């Protein structure tokens, strides 16, 4: 199966490698959403807010254990394998693993040192203390789990990933439920993070068995000479980019945690979690990194433009559709206790379009080893996000806590849009990538036609679960029907659908 990637069509490669990847991402995000729904309903807004606050801190710490090491392993291992140099691939993997272990140890020590101060002095929420302490197990396992998972992407051996993801998601849900139902209020959230750690351990063991059985040479053998300065140059800027990006995604929660009660934090995180789950299902940046690493010039432009178009094809109608079903969706998923999450959901809904495109551009910059520009733009956007969050939360808090979470939602949306615009302008200058607007307008027209149907459907009928599902199906059918009539679906799209089944994965 080891054909040279330069001699293959990018679409075929992307499709064949994306089937398993999409299934595993789908399992991950749906599993994560099911978990969030269950935990949010059991913990109720206050404890769910405590969980969200602790998770935001731990997410930043886990990113510090990476600092670009994960994307570096995908890039350099896949590059070495593309040149049929398995020894160098092994050396890059093991060298970066040493760096990873060092970062994990430092991160855990920092968490243990500042957990009490953060809980009692910064957030003024003592219930956050034990989750931060017990989450150290989760930090260890999640960091190693995510690093090892990169090997599946780098080697384009994505077939086992759906199975592994099922193990992780199912064990996470059941172990977390066991912890929440068994432990007292003070330790419920801490027990959830212990469950995360145990689930990560199961994933780690299963991954090692599969990878070693498939190819021992990636783990065992002599070390070869590699370009360490090149690696550190990449890590330096990607580390800043990844750390800035995770602060970007967590600073809103951290700042809200210092200004509002935990229940309002719970409302905000319920809305944001739903939006980011949908957005992440539309992002395929992870499988594109090794592909973008190994192709150049016109093929790179075509591959990027095609991916950009497909993201818009699905994200634009989902954005419009969500506006019409937001209230019913919140009630169906989280319950009436979370009705205050509806307004921030409206504000954040545009992220369904923005986030996958930001991810796509970030992948492009990382693959072309242009991490300096990427880290710079993300850092500027982070500063903008912090400033906007501070002032908008303070201003809107004068009205009510409900408005404060709207202010934070606006801050996140504006800063993400700024990042997308900045990356797109820089990509046009540096990589000569220009995007056609004709497809965008066709997607927009089809979405507006779908919206008229949804408006009429909601006006005539009182929605229940069955009618809600029917509305989504009919709305999707009308969207693609209009798109087909105005020739927004091309021949290459139909051909791509026919080729969705991988050819001889062996």
1 pLDDT higher than 50? no
pLDDT for 465-485, tens place per residue?
677 788 888 988 999 899 888
Average pLDDT estimate for 57-61: 85
The share of the chain scoring above pLDDT 90, in percent, equals: 16
234 within 8 A of 371, measured Cβ to Cβ = yes
Out of 29-33, 77-81, 205-209, 422-426, pick the least confident: 77-81
At residue 441, the pLDDT reads 87
The token pair that represents 447 in the structure block? 């979405």
CA dist 385 and 368 (Å) reads 27
Read off the pLDDT of each residue in 7-14 and give the average, rounded to a whole number.
Answer: 49
Q: Mean of the pLDDT values across residues 44-58?
A: 86
Is residue 124 classed exposed, middle or buried when 0-12, 13-18 and 19+ CB atoms within 10 A define those classes? exposed
Cα separation, 288 vs 41, whole angstroms: 36
Please state which of the ranges 94-108, 150-164, 340-354 shows the lowest mean pLDDT. 150-164
Asked if residue 414 has pLDDT above 90, the reply is yes
Mean pLDDT score of the chain: 80
Task: Tell me how far apart the alpha carbons of residues 111 and 128 are, in angstroms, rounded to a whole number.
Answer: 12
Q: What radius of gyration do the chain's Cα atoms show?
A: 23
pLDDT at 298: 63
More confident residue, 309 or 420: 420
Q: For residue 271, is pLDDT > 80?
A: yes
Mean pLDDT value of segment 257-267: 82
Alpha carbon 244 to chain centroid distance?
Answer: 15
Q: Is the pLDDT of residue 14 over 90?
A: no
* Local structure of residue 486 (DSSP, 8 states): T
Task: Locate 32 and state its tokens.
Answer: 């994560």
Whether pLDDT at 461 is above 60:
yes
């Amino acid at each position: 199966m080891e054909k040279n990637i330069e001699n293959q069509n990018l679409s075929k490669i992307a499709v064949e490698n994306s089937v398993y990847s999409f299934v595993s991402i789908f399992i991950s995000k749906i599993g994560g959403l099911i978990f969030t729904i269950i935990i949010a309903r059991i913990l109720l807004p206050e404890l769910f807010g405590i969980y969200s606050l602790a998770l935001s801190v731990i997410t930043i710490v886990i990113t510090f254990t990476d600092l670009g090491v994960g994307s570096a392993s995908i890039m350099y291992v896949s590059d070495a394998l593309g040149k049929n140099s398995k020894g160098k691939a092994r050396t890059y993997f093991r060298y970066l693993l040493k760096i990873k272990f060092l970062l994990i140890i430092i991160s855990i020590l920092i968490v243990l040192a500042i957990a009490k101060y953060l809980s009692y002095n910064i957030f003024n929420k003592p219930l956050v203390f034990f989750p931060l302490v017990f989450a150290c197990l989760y930090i260890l396992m999640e960091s190693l789990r995510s690093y090892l998972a990169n090997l599946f992407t780098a080697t384009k051996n994505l077939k086992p990933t759906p199975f592994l993801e099922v193990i992780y998601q199912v064990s996470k849900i059941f172990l977390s439920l066991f912890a929440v139902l068994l432990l007292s209020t003070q330790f419920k959230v801490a027990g959830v993070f212990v469950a995360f750690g145990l689930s990560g351990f199961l994933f780690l063991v299963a991954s090692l068995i599969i990878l070693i059985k498939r190819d021992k040479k990636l783990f065992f053998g002599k070390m070869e000479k590699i370009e360490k300065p090149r690696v550190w140059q990449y890590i330096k800027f990607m580390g800043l980019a990844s750390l800035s990006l995770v602060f970007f995604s967590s600073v809103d929660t951290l700042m809200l945690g210092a200004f509002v009660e935990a229940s309002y934090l719970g409302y905000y995180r319920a809305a944001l979690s739903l939006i980011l789950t949908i957005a992440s299902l539309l992002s395929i940046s992870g499988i594109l990194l090794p592909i973008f690493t190994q192709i150049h010039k016109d093929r790179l432009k075509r591959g990027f433009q095609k991916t950009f178009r497909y993201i818009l094809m699905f994200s634009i109608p989902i954005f419009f559709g969500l506006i019409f079903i937001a209230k019913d969706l919140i009630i169906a998923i989280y319950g009436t206790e979370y009705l205050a999450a509806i307004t921030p959901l409206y504000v954040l809904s545009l992220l369904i379009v923005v986030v996958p495109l930001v991810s796509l551009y970030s992948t492009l910059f990382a693959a072309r080893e242009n991490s300096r520009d990427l880290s710079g733009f993300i850092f500027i956007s982070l500063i903008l996000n912090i400033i906007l969050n501070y002032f908008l939360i303070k201003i809107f808090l004068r009205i009510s806590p409900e408005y404060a979470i709207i202010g934070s939602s606006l801050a996140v949306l504006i800063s993400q849009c700024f990042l997308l615009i900045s990356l797109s302008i820089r990509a046009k200058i540096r990589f000569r990538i220009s995007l056609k607007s004709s497809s965008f307008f066709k997607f927009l027209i089809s979405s507006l036609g779908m919206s008229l149907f949804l408006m009429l459907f909601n006006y005539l009928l009182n929605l229940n679960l069955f009618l809600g599902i029917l509305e989504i199906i009919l709305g999707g059918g009308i969207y693609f029907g209009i798109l087909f009539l105005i020739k927004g679906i091309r021949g290459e799209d139909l051909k791509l659908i026919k080729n969705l089944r991988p050819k001889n994965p062996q």
